[in-house]
């Protein structure tokens, strides 16, 4: 508890003063204007993307190449690039409003911007599709969850080609329910590590099981979970 006291004091001060930037795990993070509720609290409490912050430095290798679908504000990529270098991070983000947020966060940390693909993560490249932009920065999705502020047409970014072209070994995915249709269509053969958020409320228990079974069938073992939401799969020896 004593070790937690400084963080708790910082959290209380931030909730009272609402600073526009915080530092989490050595990374400066600008707080988006649309951050509210539990996500804002997690940022101020330095628990935002907590499992990724804790585990990625242990799991990543210096020669890994990362493809991240659903990059949001670029925080997980900033944590990952400490292990692999910014040139080995490739980010996909469908919400055009978040591209400047990613670039600003990386710039404020003195790191060269990663390769950012604006579009929807899909198995294969295709015609533009509707993407529903929510007021909350983390809630936008190809699925309309009833929080839509506007709908954009965005290109489909073909992950199977991107995996091959980049030589990706790590796939990080947080796409607010889109993962259930996407994962079974992906060629995972070149990957050794998958870190994915599965949003059961966006689908159901059956879809949760189907996605996990598809990943396991591709040669992976589930090695860690967090709150039945973040799942880490590592390729079996």
Q: What is the largest CA-CA distance in the chain?
A: 55
Residue 121 covered by a domain: yes
List, in sequence order, every residue forming a beta bridge with 197; answer none if it has no partner: 230
Residue 177 covered by a domain: yes
Q: How far is residue 223's CA from residue 96's CA, in Å, rounded to a whole number?
A: 34
What's the mean per-residue pLDDT of the chain?
93
pLDDT over 80 (residue 2)? no
Q: How many CB atoms lie within 10 A of CB 9?
A: 10
Q: How far is residue 65's CA from residue 168's CA, in Å, rounded to a whole number?
A: 5
Residue 171 covered by a domain: yes
CATH number at residue 216: 3.40.50.150
- Give residue 135's pLDDT: 84
Average pLDDT over residues 211-232: 93
Q: Are strands 21-24 and 27-30 parallel, antiparallel or unpaired?
A: antiparallel
Q: How many CB atoms lie within 10 A of CB 123?
A: 18
Residue 43 covered by a domain: no
Q: How far is residue 8's CA from residue 206's CA, in Å, rounded to a whole number?
A: 39
- Give residue 155's pLDDT: 95
Residue 160 covered by a domain: yes
Average pLDDT over residues 151-158: 95
* pLDDT confidence band for 66 (50 / 70 / 90): very high
Which range marks the domain in which residue 186 is found?
Answer: 49-235
Handedness of CA 54, 60, 64, 67 (dihedral sign): negative
- Give residue 73's pLDDT: 96
- Give residue 196's pLDDT: 96
Residue 137 covered by a domain: yes
Residue 211 covered by a domain: yes
Q: Are strands 230-235 and 220-226 parallel, antiparallel or unpaired?
A: antiparallel
Tally of structural domains, the chain: 1
Q: When comparing pLDDT for 62 and 226, which is higher?
A: 62
Q: How far is residue 90's CA from residue 77's CA, in Å, rounded to a whole number?
A: 8
Q: When comparing pLDDT for 23 and 135, which is higher?
A: 23
Residue 18 covered by a domain: no
Q: How far is residue 33's CA from residue 136's CA, in Å, rounded to a whole number?
A: 9
Which of 29-38, 129-138, 213-222 holds the top average pLDDT? 213-222
Q: How far is residue 83's CA from residue 61's CA, in Å, rounded to a whole number?
A: 7
- Give residue 1's pLDDT: 58
């Amino acid at each position: 508890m004593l070790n937690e006291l400084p963080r708790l004091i910082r959290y209380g001060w931030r909730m009272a003063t609402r600073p526009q930037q915080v530092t989490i795990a050595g990374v400066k993070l600008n707080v988006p204007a649309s951050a509210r509720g539990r996500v804002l609290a997690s940022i101020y409490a330095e628990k935002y993307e907590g499992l990724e912050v804790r585990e990625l430095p242990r799991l990543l290798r210096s020669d890994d190449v990362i493809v991240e679908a659903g990059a949001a504000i670029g925080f997980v990529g900033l944590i990952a690039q400490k292990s692999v270098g910014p040139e080995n991070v490739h980010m996909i983000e469908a919400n055009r409003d978040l591209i400047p947020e990613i670039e600003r966060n990386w710039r404020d940390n003195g790191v060269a911007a990663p390769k950012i693909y604006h579009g929807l993560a899909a198995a294969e490249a295709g015609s533009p599709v509707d993407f529903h932009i929510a007021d909350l920065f983390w809630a936008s999705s190809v699925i309309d969850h009833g929080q839509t502020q506007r709908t954009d047409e965005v290109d489909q970014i073909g992950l199977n080609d991107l995996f091959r072209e980049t030589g990706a070994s790590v796939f990080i995915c947080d796409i607010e329910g889109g993962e259930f249709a996407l994962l079974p269509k992906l060629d995972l053969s070149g990957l050794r590590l998958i870190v994915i958020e599965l949003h059961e409320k966006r689908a159901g228990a059956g879809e949760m099981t189907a996605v996990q079974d598809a990943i396991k069938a591709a040669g992976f073992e589930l090695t860690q979970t967090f709150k039945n939401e973040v799942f880490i799969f590592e390729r079996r020896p």
